[in-house]
Structure 1
Amino acid sequence: MLLWINGPFGGGKTQTAYELRRRLPGRVVCDPEHVGFGLHRMLPRELRSDFQDLAAWRQGVYEVLDLTLRGYEGVVIAPMTVVEPAYFEETVGRLRAAGHEVHHFALLAERETVLRRLTERGLGRGLKRESFAVRQLDLCLERLNRPLFAEHIRTDRVGVPQVADNIAASAGLSLEPNMDGPLRHRLRKAWTGLKHIRIG
């Protein structure tokens, strides 16, 4: 089974993916961004743009997830923003057509909520560090609200553990209980954020 967690940049995809990994036995996170980072590292800086526009990214994501789903017995979790319908079909749609059980979720929130989250993860630099995410925000929210990108989960007033609970329930999965108190949850969230800061 594949859980593809979509949403705007700053929408909580990575935090939710690692909350699911923490509380779900027999699971693995396969982050499609890493395919894009690899392609970017192969290109001169001046030729780098949105790696999703590269056919190699879409093909690579499909091949890696197809291989993982065929050879790994546990649940596979992929946190990745994809809002271009054609690219969605080349990845999520193609995996479904190959016979895989794919559950897709779009984490949605009000614009102000996402901007606040982007500010919080800017490590004191405000939204400057997240300029690409801010530029893409309105497009992401508009596209992801479309029926193609369902199932939609609103996250404005719901914490990461509850979002994970909702995803698991929709996919028919049982999570281990969340035993974190408020402080431990904040520390875990901060640690996950630090481990997944994009550099370069």
Structure 2
Amino acid sequence: MIIWINGTFGSGKTTAAYELQRRINKAFVYDPERFGYVLMANVPKEIAKDDFQDYSLWREANYRLLKQTAEDYDGIIIVPMTLTNEKYFDEIIGRLREDGIRVAHFTLVASKSTIQKRLSKRWEGKNSWAYQQMKDRLQSLENSLFKKHIQTDNLSIEEVVETIAGLSGIELKPDHRSRWRKKLDRLAVTAKEIGIVKQVKG
């Protein structure tokens, strides 16, 4: 089974994915973005596209690898990835479903002001790519294709994780971490993601 967590940049996808992984007996976080960064780093700037999702190679590779992993792995695969193009959605998630693979898809949504606050916590200002993409991505994700929508403005990470698990029919393990341990774990995830972006762009 694949759980795809969609949402605009700053919606909390990656944090929710790793928190969900910690509370499932056997789960793996698959991040399609990593392959995108490698792809972008190996294409001459003169012919590079602005968004790695626009490469058919990125879409095909992720479809094939997710398909193989889902067929071979007996745990839950969690995919935190913004996907707002209907054609691209069909080329990856649509094809996986046609192959008989269960893909539970959820979109984390929040108000523009909430997303802005979350991006600022990631040190992404108004000139950042994520910030500039926000408006169009939020509008695209309103499409019914990207349901189920989970409104997160007033939800804690724990509540988001529990909502996803409940809708997916997954039983969660108890979380015995202290409040500070949770914060440290989440900061580590954020730092890792920011580090990957800087390393590739640098």
Q: How far apart, in 1, do the equivalents of 2:46 and 2:154 lie?
A: 40
Deviation sequence 1:9-44 (CA, Å, 0-9, x none): 011000000001111111101101112112112112
- Give the aligned residue type for 2:113: E
Task: State the partner residue of 1:31.
Answer: 31
- The alignment status of 1:195 with 2:192, answered yes or no, reads yes
Q: Give the 4+ runs in structure 1 shifted more than 6 A.
A: none
Task: State the partner residue of 1:127.
Answer: 125
Q: How far apart, in 1, do the equivalents of 2:170 and 2:34 lie?
A: 26
- Normalising to structure 1: TM-score of the pair? 0.94
- Give the aligned residue type for 1:14: T
Q: How far apart, in 1, do the equivalents of 2:84 and 2:158 lie?
A: 25
Name the stretch that deviates more: 84-93 or 182-191: 182-191
Secondary structure of the 1:28 match is strand
Name the stretch that deviates more: 138-147 or 6-15: 138-147
Task: State the partner residue of 1:111.
Answer: 112
The CA deviation at 1:188 is 1.8
Q: How far apart, in 1, do the equivalents of 2:4 and 2:38 lie?
A: 20
Aligned length: 196
Root mean square deviation, CA, Å: 1.3
Indicate if the aligned counterparts of 1:24 and 1:175 stay in contact, CA closer than 8 A.
Answer: yes
Q: How far apart, in 1, do the equivalents of 2:30 and 2:109 lie?
A: 21
The CA deviation at 1:184 is 2.5
User: How is 1:43-58 mapped onto 2 (pairs within 5 angstroms)?
Assistant: 43-48=43-48, 49-58=50-59
Q: Which among 161, 166, 172 is matched to residue 175 of structure 1?
A: 172
- Give the aligned residue type for 1:142: Q
Task: State the partner residue of 1:140.
Answer: 137
- Give the aligned residue type for 2:22: R
Task: State the partner residue of 2:41.
Answer: 41
The CA deviation at 1:141 is 0.9
Q: How far apart, in 1, do the equivalents of 2:110 and 2:120 lie?
A: 15
Secondary structure of the 2:106 match is strand
Q: How far apart, in 2, do the equivalents of 1:7 and 1:189 lie?
A: 18
Task: State the partner residue of 1:83.
Answer: 84
- The alignment status of 1:184 with 2:181, answered yes or no, reads yes
The CA deviation at 1:46 is 4.0
- Give the aligned residue type for 2:162: D
Q: How far apart, in 2, do the equivalents of 1:156 and 1:180 lie?
A: 24
The CA deviation at 1:185 is 2.3
Q: How far apart, in 1, do the equivalents of 2:64 and 2:173 lie?
A: 31
The CA deviation at 1:179 is 2.5
Q: How far apart, in 2, do the equivalents of 1:19 and 1:102 lie?
A: 19
Indicate if the aligned counterparts of 1:8 and 1:81 stay in contact, CA closer than 8 A.
Answer: yes
Task: State the partner residue of 1:162.
Answer: 159
Q: How far apart, in 2, do the equivalents of 1:117 and 1:37 lie?
A: 22
Secondary structure of the 1:11 match is coil
Over the matched positions of the two proteins, sequence identity in percent amounts to: 40
- Give the aligned residue type for 2:82: T
Q: How far apart, in 2, do the equivalents of 1:4 and 1:171 lie?
A: 11
Q: How far apart, in 1, do the equivalents of 2:147 and 2:176 lie?
A: 30
Q: How far apart, in 2, do the equivalents of 1:184 and 1:73 lie?
A: 29
- The alignment status of 1:152 with 2:153, answered yes or no, reads no
- Normalising to structure 2: TM-score of the pair? 0.93
